[in-house]
Structure 1
Amino acid sequence: MIQTDKILSNFQRSPIMNCIGIVTEYNPFHTGHAYQLNTLAERYPDALRIVVMSGSFVQRGEPALFDKFTRARWALLNGAHAVIELPTVYATANAERFAAGAVRLLHQLGARALSFGSETNNAALLQKIAAKSSDKAVQEACRQAMKNGEFYGTALRQAIIAQYPEAAPIVNQPNALLGLEYTKAIQTYGLNMNLIPVKREGEHHNDELTTDWSSGSALRRQIRTNDNKDHLSKTLAPYLPANIIADCQEKILFNDYTEIERYHDFILYESRKLSATQLASLADFNEGLHQVWPSAGQKESWTSALDSLKSKRYSYARLNRMATYTVLGISRRLQDEAHETGPQYGRLLGFTDAARPWLQRKEFDVPLIQKWAPFVNTATGLTAEMATLDQKATDIQKLCIKNASNRKGGEDFYFTPWYIKK
């Protein structure tokens, strides 16, 4: 294995424009995200920081708390040089397909290094663990564990540790598998990308605001459940970069964020409307679940429906993603084709002065879309299906906004990419 320092030294000497890719959701943007961007800026001041970000829906199977355009601007104000939307078909997929879509898109746009939060900054170790996870013995052990009722993540962790005990401190940490999926995608597709893991600080999935480095889960929970908006705005301030506090406070005060209960009603509506045959055509609906899903949809709440569907084979996370497939109409065929073919485009959400030379190169392997209407009106085939899905996701995310006056549709068509002069 090549040592991390040597990898990064070679990266900086590369004749290709130095371009570090970051895969993220920024749901919402907080100090932990700013820390990663600032760390990269300090270590590699001459490198471009290109972010591929989930758009209107996120991988946990729900609409993003704030709209994608606002989240992109916050990132640009805090160290990102360009933000590109990850097409919804990848943003809502399982960890393997999410990672593969995002990493391939970054590579198509010229990134030759990938940075992500990790419990270790040892890139060589992550590469070794990722390679082990693809071994036949590990894959077979993983399949057997899943047959015995373990969820995929748990099964894979157990299988990796059985074959490679030294991996235990890494793979047993929150979000570890996603970092491994990024690494594995680079290996699987033979991408010319170096790894720059940034050691995490603070909380990962804690639902409470406990430290200066709180989690997105805690922030979402506080915003969606706290009715004292004035107090909430002050409470959240320590967890947000100073230059976005006022903007975020305004959004909270005017209820310009998604209300999860509204989204749950979309799920119940689709679950009651779709037939078992229609459900069977959607992504990830296997093993007869399409037969019992409609009856679960008759429950009084999605929380109750989830409890009735939960089993050893189907985790809450997986079921929430499947619920998103009912709302957005993501078919198995579309998701499979998108995964096999790879990203067809990237949509630019915003950029800074530093990204101008990169944008002007126009030597990308996929179109980088700046004007949505001309693109989507002439798109065909898989590209058209993916673009239509992105629009649908944005429109439904807007319908989930708590403040009714902010639910206007068609936002994709009248948005112009942010330009931040800095």
Structure 2
Amino acid sequence: MKAVGLVVEYNPFHNGHQYHLHTSKNETNADVVIAVMSGSFLQRGEPALVSKWTRTEMALRGGADLVFELPYVYCTQHAEHFAYGAILLLEAAGCDTFCFGSEQGKIEPFLSLYQLIKEKKAEYDQYVVKYISEGNSYPKASSLAFYELVSDVLDLPDLTKPNNILGFQYVKAALDHSFRIKPCTIRRIHSDYHDQELPDQPIASATSIRKALMRQQDLESTSSYLPSESFLLLRSYGEFHDWEKYWPLLKYKIMSSSTDELEAIYEAEEGIQYRMKENVLEASSFNEFVSKVKTKRYTWTRIQRLCVHILNHVKKEQMKSAMNQNSYLRILGMTEKGRKYLNLNKKKIELPLISRISSVQHLGLELDISSAFIHSLALDFPSQKKLRKREFQPPIFL
């Protein structure tokens, strides 16, 4: 059975995701679609809108055949580590190709860019160092370095575009590690990644859908942008998760920690803990807090990711140890076709396959479970209890 792999967050699963899923399957002539999906917290340093189990069911009802969890050690990282973890899992699962959405829409320019940067790596790195020394964040410095190299080269992916950035990192991960899996891409249609408002046509950005959903009275306004199954699952979920619901917990963690204790947290660098301590009592909300801490160098996303690690109390040494362990494929859900694929290929799968957790003996899994528990704290106690129990039950089967 031929498999195409997708790297996803599905926060939530909307019409654009369904288009990407079905088009990827058709373009690659795949028999099954395998999704590697972020768990409870996401790459831009945000809590997922709903639990990973609800998002898994959305994915399966939307056409995915297998959903694996992208572990915490990868899904809460900057683009390069995030991409490596995701492609590593799709490679291990035996996918023939991975397919990502991009503003570029053609794979050849990504391959050309990879080769160009590889050939000029020393020059590229020098530009990155130069722009960081001028006070730019790493993402901004990387973008400026990119333009120094390719200013006179046509038809290369624009690395200021978020999907192109991730797409290039997926391609880089596969080629740097000589994986068998082959890259492909399809063009994003209609909505832009960062669009804030719902459009007139049926494909909207996840950002605009989340913004409308967080205004509870606008729940119905999102129905035309979501597959009916996704909308029904959202409507029955109850309270949605966003940073403001965790703000009192985060505020307590920062206030009760010394600057040395905060410095030990993963991604706490360059004295950012001092800015956090200085501003935590001056902010009435999470958004106001990040606005006060943010600078040219400390980007919003970087601060959010650090806040995720503070909330989950993930230290540098703990993350380093977890990343040094072999990874694993934890199954969140599957269809009958997905189960058939596993039965045919399980002897070839290169990483431990986990369908049910009985005893945890892996630092990465411990982080996945503890972060799921903390993610549940935004809900009422019966819902928290239900989600904690769900962590130790079998995958969803449709």
Decide: shared fold, TM above 0.5: yes
Query: Aligned to 2:72, which of 88, 98, 106?
Result: 88
1:235 maps to 2:221: yes
Report the Cα offset of residue 83 of structure 1: 0.2
In structure 2, distance between residues paired with 1:170 and 1:209: 25
Report the Cα offset of residue 93 of structure 1: 0.9
Query: Aligned to 1:415, which of 371, 393, 397?
Result: 393
1:173 maps to 2:179: no
Q: For residue 371 of structure 1, what is the aligned residue in structure 2?
A: 356
Q: For residue 4 of structure 1, what is the aligned residue in structure 2?
A: none
Report the Cα offset of residue 169 of structure 1: 5.6
Change (3 A) 1:359 1:19: same
Query: Aligned to 2:89, which of 90, 100, 105?
Result: 105
SS of equivalent residue, structure 2 residue 162: coil
Q: For residue 195 of structure 1, what is the aligned residue in structure 2?
A: 183
Query: Aligned to 1:184, which of 172, 182, 185?
Result: 172
1:350 maps to 2:333: yes
SS of equivalent residue, structure 2 residue 266: coil
Q: For residue 62 of structure 1, what is the aligned residue in structure 2?
A: 46
Change (3 A) 1:169 1:112: closer
Deviations 1:214-258 (A, max 9, x none): 11111111111x232xxx33311110013333222222xxx2321
Residue type of the partner of 1:235? S
Report the Cα offset of residue 342 of structure 1: 6.5
Change (3 A) 1:415 1:167: farther
Query: Aligned to 2:305, which of 311, 321, 335?
Result: 321
1:76 maps to 2:66: no
Query: Aligned to 2:371, which of 389, 393, 401?
Result: 393
1:155 maps to 2:141: yes
Query: Aligned to 1:206, which of 177, 195, 215?
Result: 195
Summarize the alignment of residues 219-230 of structure 1 with structure 2, pairs less than 5 Å apart: 219-224=209-214, 226-228=215-217
Change (3 A) 1:319 1:167: farther
TM-score normalised over the length of structure 2: 0.92
Q: For residue 205 of structure 2, what is the aligned residue in structure 1?
A: 215
Aligned length: 388
Report the Cα offset of residue 316 of structure 1: 0.7
Q: Contact 1:41–1:79 (CA<8 Å) still a contact in 2?
A: no
Q: For residue 132 of structure 1, what is the aligned residue in structure 2?
A: 116
SS of equivalent residue, structure 2 residue 270: coil
1:303 maps to 2:293: no
Q: Contact 2:102–2:188 (CA<8 Å) still a contact in 1?
A: yes
Q: Contact 2:143–2:160 (CA<8 Å) still a contact in 1?
A: yes
Q: Contact 1:395–1:411 (CA<8 Å) still a contact in 2?
A: no
TM-score normalised over the length of structure 1: 0.87
Q: Contact 2:28–2:97 (CA<8 Å) still a contact in 1?
A: no
Deviations 1:185-208 (A, max 9, x none): 112212112111011012211111
Change (3 A) 1:269 1:150: same
Range with greater deviation from structure 2 (294-303 or 136-145):
294-303
Deviations 1:145-164 (A, max 9, x none): 12112222222122112211
1:279 maps to 2:262: yes
Change (3 A) 1:130 1:412: farther
Q: Contact 2:110–2:168 (CA<8 Å) still a contact in 1?
A: yes
Report the Cα offset of residue 338 of structure 1: 4.4
Report the Cα offset of residue 405 of structure 1: 4.1
Q: Contact 1:276–1:290 (CA<8 Å) still a contact in 2?
A: yes
Residue type of the partner of 2:264? S
In structure 1, distance between residues paired with 2:93 and 2:165: 24
Q: Which runs of 5+ in 2 are unaligned?
A: none
In structure 2, distance between residues paired with 1:120 and 1:292: 38
Query: Aligned to 2:243, which of 240, 254, 260?
Result: 260
SS of equivalent residue, structure 2 residue 136: coil
Residue type of the partner of 2:353? L
Change (3 A) 1:200 1:342: farther
Work out the percentage of aligned pairs sharing the same amino acid.
28
Change (3 A) 1:115 1:239: same
In structure 1, distance between residues paired with 2:136 and 2:245: 32
Report the Cα offset of residue 297 of structure 1: 2.5
Q: Which runs of 5+ in 1 are unaligned?
A: 1-16
Report the Cα offset of residue 167 of structure 1: 5.5
In structure 2, distance between residues paired with 1:354 and 1:214: 30
SS of equivalent residue, structure 2 residue 99: strand
In structure 1, distance between residues paired with 2:279 and 2:223: 40
In structure 2, distance between residues paired with 1:182 and 1:352: 26
In structure 1, distance between residues paired with 2:158 and 2:305: 25
